[in-house]
Amino acid sequence: MNIQGNSLLAQMQSMAADVSGPKTNALPSVNQSSQDFGSLLKNAINTVNDLQQDAGAKKAAFEMGDRSISLAETMISSTKAGLAFDATVQVRNKFVEAYKEIMSMPV
């Protein structure tokens, strides 16, 4: 369990480092991205879907008595999928709020 806990901690730390990114004071230019917003959003949704499918497969395997899948693995994958889905819903809600605000602006 300690090895899995350290692995999970390492994953969480690397994800936090990826999210925070490099600290710079300069403002980025608008069109510096190599991918458009639609493809980034599609990739994020596909990642959430993959996490949910993985969690579902691990749950099914554990329920069927597969000894190679532990309860801890099942719970961690389920929690990851749940958190990813919750974050996706929050992002969607922010997009809807922004859309409503933009649409209510006078032209």
Neighbour-count burial for 22-60, b at 16+ CB within 10 Å, e otherwise: eeeeeeeeeeeeeeeeeeeeeeeeeebeebbeebeebbe
Q: Which domain holds residue 59?
A: 35-107
Q: Which residues contact 45 (CB under 8 A, 6 or more apart)?
A: 88
pTM over 0.85: no
Query: Does any domain span residue 73?
Result: yes
Q: How many structural domains is the chain composed of?
A: 1
pLDDT in tens, the chain (107 residues): 445 556 666 776 776 666 655 555 544 455 555 678 888 889 999 999 999 999 999 999 999 999 999 999 999 999 999 999 999 999 999 999 999 999 999 88
Query: Does any domain span residue 29?
Result: no
Q: How far apart are CA 51 and CA 11, in angstroms?
A: 14
Query: Does any domain span residue 103?
Result: yes
Query: Does any domain span residue 11?
Result: no
Query: Does any domain span residue 92?
Result: yes
Q: Hey, what are 47's tokens?
A: 């990642």
